[in-house]
Chain A
């Protein structure tokens, strides 16, 4: 990974940013510590203090005084002493750190450390001096012998940067940092991840939410930092829920309002039918009744859908076979009108956790569809299985495999159909099934695929709809969210 890519990766991640920030903080603190150390070293003048340097100068001057009559030996001793001084504090000879010296006898230079800045214009006795020679800062200490003309000047670099380099070269400060930094990254990364765990759980709660669930988030508000986000999300959810509720109640109100004129239309037509004249009038009136029925059915479906969406209803244990029997009894009039036979087979008693109105509209829509699309003289067969399944099978045209996903969309209708319809029936079935944690499956009926049954013609494949509730999951009923 190139550094640029790594940078982008780190910047794009909160964990990355936090780790980066932590590392920068460590570096900054380290640099501050180092700067202090360098500064402290630079002003570390004790070694130059007269009290500290005095004995050293005394020793050198005593050597000079005592060996004044033996110059060769004096030179030898001073050279040895110089070597000792250079290595006194550090293993290597270093210009920045070493102590140099100039030894004078009157105006004659007896000894000068190699590499020292040459003749140091000493001006003051027994105190530290700060001098600049050839642009470089130096610190010197000069002392005059009490017995002779001998004079010694101790010289040390006064350049903080040079000290820093000197120290750096030895890795005293840089190396530990370089070694420990990678080890710091790991705990930093771990601690950041630990601290951010609520954030991940928070996003998980949002991720795993079902699309219809508009209840406020529960998790985020326990943490001060997450609360603004959770509050903002909750406000948004509340607004969406409120606008959905408004939309639902608008549609429900409109549907309710439509019912009275529809009823008026129907009753007037039926009153007229009682006096009908010729066959042509009768046919026209029948057409009017049928259109009125379609409009009424659409209104009822819209209301059912809005009610199912609002999810205000309560689930209870109820008998699936009993409810199906009741609904088939209610729908047998429609079947009779269409010349379709209804048939129910119940394995045994079957109880499920469900809300009655939703389940009623699910059964009604499935059976009404089956009756509507069945050719006259055929049978719509309904089965309730002990495994909490409901199968509705007809001998109608069926639904081609290509359309089986889309027929659950609201107002979607399979093209080129002879039967009028709203396209809401299966959407309602799906909506109710989803809320009950049930599955809906479409398949060819027994009359199709070369079957012998059903006078629906060779085109009729029939349709078998299977709704299966999950018995194991007793608490499977999930009311749609809402305020």
Chain B
């Protein structure tokens, strides 16, 4: 996968480039808006990492240009501005995600993966976490190569948790998934689904954060996740 990195800071740009290349990604790194526009015109790329404050202009201009030309590649904004209005401005101008500096490498990689999945569409939509694999198009889930039968709701919950692995999904978000429109806080439908899901895929994948939500961690839990 080819990534276009637009970042004017020398150390940060170089660090991100090395970290991404370590993950086997191809990175083109430019430091100016002009170079970035040139790179977009001349090279194919699958994902753009965009810093907003560039020495020769605003990164949002590039974003506008991309969207005007209907170029499909997803854009992840990297910025120091984290106020709500800044985030909204970024997302409104067509960015796909927004990451505030300083960010952890794991966070950056997780976002890049998620965007790449979206970008590649159905071409390669198998998500794998440890021994668990999920193929979205065919709704096929395997654990240790063994197929697991899931109900529609269970599949959707698992899909959501795997797509956003390492991030806790709140009960509210998950409830909307299984009970669209029906926001009944007292109901334990979600817990029933989760307990069934756990039984089917085995322990150690889904971790509960009591009262908050559920999460699937990429790394195996050090101590037994509930």
Chain A contact residues: helix, strand, loop or mixed:
helix
* Complex interface: chain A residues within 8 A of B12 (CB): 260-261, 263-264, 267
Contacts of B167 in A (CB 8 A): 329, 333
The reply to whether B210 and A342 contact each other, CB–CB distance below 8 Å, is yes
Q: Binary interface profile of A, 249-271, with partner B (CB < 8 Å = 1, else 0)?
A: 00000001101111111111011
**Interface hit among A204-212, A320-328, A417-425:** A320-328
Contact B212 A344 (CB under 8 A): yes
Q: Which applies to chain B's interface (DSSP): helix, strand, loop or mixed? A: mixed
B22 / chain A contacts, CB cutoff of 8 Å: 271, 274-275
The answer to whether the Cβ of A330 comes within 8 Å of any Cβ in the partner chain is: yes
Q: Is B15 an interface residue (CB 8 A)?
A: yes
Query: Complex: how many Å from CA A303 to CA B84?
Result: 12
CB distance from B57 to the nearest CB of A (A): 17
Contact, CB under 8 Å: B103 / A265: no
What separation, in Å, do the CA atoms of A349 and B171 have in the docked complex?
13
A193 at the interface (CB under 8 A from B): no
Q: Tell me, yes or no, whether B151 is within 8 Å of chain A by CB.
A: no
Contact A262 B101 (CB under 8 A): yes
What sequence of 0s and 1s flags, for each residue 74-117 of chain B, a beta carbon within 8 Å of any chain A beta carbon?
Answer: 00001011111000000000000000111111101000000000
User: Of residues A257, A332, A346, which shows the largest number of chain B Cβ atoms within 10 Å of its Cβ?
Assistant: A332
Q: How far is the CB of B51 from chain A (nearest CB, A)?
A: 8
Number of B interface residues at 8 Å Cβ cutoff, please give it.
Answer: 39
**Min distance, Cβ B221 to any Cβ of chain A, angstroms:** 9
Q: Is the CB of B102 within 8 A of A292?
A: yes
Provide the bound-state CA to CA distance between A292 and B12, in Å: 14
Residues in B whose Cβ lies below 8 Å from that of A346: 185, 211
- Among A263, A307, A313: residue with most chain B CB under 10 A: A263
Given A329-B170, A346-B211, A266:B104 Cβ within 8 A:
yes
How far, in angstroms, from A345 to B102 measured CA to CA in the complex? Answer: 32
Q: Chain A residues near B104 (CB, 8 Å)?
A: 266, 270
Which A residues have a C-beta under 8 Å from some C-beta of B?
256-257, 259-268, 270-271, 274-275, 292, 296, 300, 303, 307, 313, 322, 325-326, 328-330, 332-333, 335-336, 339, 341-346, 348-349, 356-357, 382
Binding site for A on B (CB under 8 A): 9, 11-12, 14-16, 18-19, 22, 78, 80-84, 100-106, 108, 166-172, 185, 209-213, 215, 217, 223
Known contacts A261-B11, A264-B9, A270-B105; 17 additional CB pairs below 8 A are A260-B9, A262-B102, A265-B102, A266-B103, A268-B14, A268-B18, A274-B22, A296-B102, A325-B213, A328-B212, A329-B209, A329-B212, A342-B209, A342-B210, A343-B211, A344-B211, A346-B185
15 contacts between A and B (CB under 8 A): A260-B9, A262-B102, A264-B9, A267-B12, A268-B11, A268-B18, A307-B83, A328-B209, A329-B167, A329-B209, A332-B215, A339-B223, A342-B212, A356-B84, A382-B211
